[in-house]
Chains A and B, each alone.
Chain A
Amino acid sequence: MERKIGFFILTALAGIALVIIFAGLRQDIFTAKDRIYFTSENGQGINEGMAVKLSGFKIGKITSLELDDKAHVKVVMAISRKYMKWIKTDSTARLVKEGIIGDSIIEIIPGSAPAALLKDDGTVPFEREKGISAMVEELKDEIKPVIRDIREIVAYINDPKGNIKATLANVETLSDDLSETGNKLNLLLKDADKAVALNSVKVSGLLDNITSTVGNANKAITVTGKEIPPIMEKVNAGLENLRKTTEEIRKAVEKAAHSIPPLVQKGGETASGVKEIVDSLKKTWPISSFITPPVQKTLDVDSYE
Chain B
Amino acid sequence: MNKAGLITKTGKDWTLSLGRFFMTACLLLALSSCGGKQTFVSPGHMNAAELNHRAETAFMTGDYDKSLDLYREALRVNRSMEDTDGIAVSLINIAAAYRKSGDTDNASLTLDSLLEDRTLSYPPNRLSFAAFLKAMLFMDANSYGKASEWADKARSFCGQGACPLNGKLYNLRARIALASKDFASAVTLGTEGLRFNRDLDDRMETANSLRIISEAKAAVGNYKEAGDMLAEALALDKTMGKGTGVHADLMGLGRLALMKGDRTSALVLFRRALAVSEASRDAEGAAEALKMIGQCSTDSEKR
Q: Which B positions have Cβ atoms within 8 angstroms of A?
A: 31-32, 34-36, 38-39, 41, 45-46, 48-50, 52-53, 56, 59, 74, 78, 85-86, 89-90, 92-93, 96-97, 126, 129, 132-133, 136, 167-169, 171-172, 175, 204-205, 208, 211-212, 244-245, 248
Residue of A294, A298, A302, A304 near B41 (CB, 8 A) is: A294
State whether B89 touches A297 (Cβ < 8 A). Answer: yes
A305 to B34, CA, bound (A): 43
State whether B35 touches A303 (Cβ < 8 A). Answer: no
A283, A289, A298, A302 — which one has the most chain B CB atoms within 10 A of its CB? A298
A191 to B85, CA, bound (A): 85
A293-B39, A296-B86 are known contacts. Are A302 and B53 too (CB-CB below 8 A)? no
Query: Which residues does chain A contribute within 8 Å of B132, judged by CB atoms?
Result: 301
A285 to B30, CA, bound (A): 13
State whether B204 touches A302 (Cβ < 8 A). Answer: yes
Residue of B35, B96, B172 near A299 (CB, 8 A) is: B96
* Interface SS, A side: loop
Residue of A286, A297, A301, A304 near B175 (CB, 8 A) is: A304
- The 8 closest A-B CB pairs, nearest first, are A294-B49, A289-B35, A303-B171, A304-B208, A303-B168, A296-B52, A293-B41, A296-B89
Q: Which A positions have Cβ atoms within 8 angstroms of B?
A: 283, 285-286, 288-289, 293-305
Query: Which residues does chain A contribute within 8 Å of B92, judged by CB atoms?
Result: 298-299
A106 to B251, CA, bound (A): 64
Query: Which residues does chain B contribute within 8 Å of A302, judged by CB atoms?
Result: 204-205, 208, 244
CB distance from B5 to the nearest CB of A (A): 9
Residue of B31, B59, B74, B244 near A296 (CB, 8 A) is: B74
Question: Which chain A residue has the least Cβ–Cβ distance from B83?
Answer: A296
Question: Which chain B residue has the least Cβ–Cβ distance from A293?
Answer: B41
CB distance from B67 to the nearest CB of A (A): 9
Query: Which residues does chain A contribute within 8 Å of B50, judged by CB atoms?
Result: 294
A295 to B164, CA, bound (A): 18
State whether A304 touches B86 (Cβ < 8 A). Answer: no
Query: Which residues does chain A contribute within 8 Å of B52, judged by CB atoms?
Result: 296-297
A305 to B59, CA, bound (A): 15
State whether B208 touches A303 (Cβ < 8 A). Answer: yes
18 A–B contact pairs at CB < 8 A? Answer: A288-B35, A288-B38, A294-B45, A296-B48, A296-B85, A296-B86, A297-B89, A298-B89, A298-B129, A299-B59, A299-B96, A301-B96, A301-B129, A301-B132, A302-B205, A303-B205, A304-B171, A304-B208
Question: Which chain B residue has the least Cβ–Cβ distance from A279?
Answer: B46
Query: Which residues does chain B contribute within 8 Å of A293, judged by CB atoms?
Result: 39, 41
Question: Which chain B residue has the least Cβ–Cβ distance from A286?
Answer: B35
CB distance from B4 to the nearest CB of A (A): 12
Residue of B39, B53, B93 near A298 (CB, 8 A) is: B93
Question: Which chain B residue has the least Cβ–Cβ distance from A302?
Answer: B204
A294-B53, A296-B48, A304-B208 are known contacts. Are A285 and B32 too (CB-CB below 8 A)? yes
Question: Which chain A residue has the least Cβ–Cβ distance from B140?
Answer: A305
Residue of B45, B48, B93, B175 near A303 (CB, 8 A) is: B175
Query: Which residues does chain A contribute within 8 Å of B204, judged by CB atoms?
Result: 300, 302
CB distance from B70 to the nearest CB of A (A): 12
Question: Which chain A residue has the least Cβ–Cβ distance from B92?
Answer: A298
With A293-B41, A295-B49, A303-B172 given, can you name 11 additional A-B contacts, CB distance below 8 Å?
A288-B38, A289-B36, A294-B41, A294-B46, A294-B50, A296-B48, A298-B126, A299-B59, A301-B96, A304-B175, A304-B245
A301 to B36, CA, bound (A): 33
Query: Which residues does chain A contribute within 8 Å of B31, judged by CB atoms?
Result: 286
Question: Which chain A residue has the least Cβ–Cβ distance from B197?
Answer: A303
Query: Which residues does chain A contribute within 8 Å of B59, judged by CB atoms?
Result: 299
A285 to B33, CA, bound (A): 11
Query: Which residues does chain A contribute within 8 Å of B89, judged by CB atoms?
Result: 296-298
A300 to B86, CA, bound (A): 16
CB distance from A4 to the nearest CB of B (A): 11
Query: Which residues does chain A contribute within 8 Å of B41, judged by CB atoms?
Result: 293-294
CB distance from A272 to the nearest CB of B (A): 15
A26 to B90, CA, bound (A): 62
Query: Which residues does chain B contribute within 8 Å of A283, judged by CB atoms?
Result: 38
Question: Which chain A residue has the least Cβ–Cβ distance from B99?
Answer: A301
Query: Which residues does chain A contribute within 8 Å of B245, judged by CB atoms?
Result: 304
A285 to B29, CA, bound (A): 12
Query: Which residues does chain B contribute within 8 Å of A298, judged by CB atoms?
Result: 89, 92-93, 96, 126, 129
A296 to B86, CA, bound (A): 7
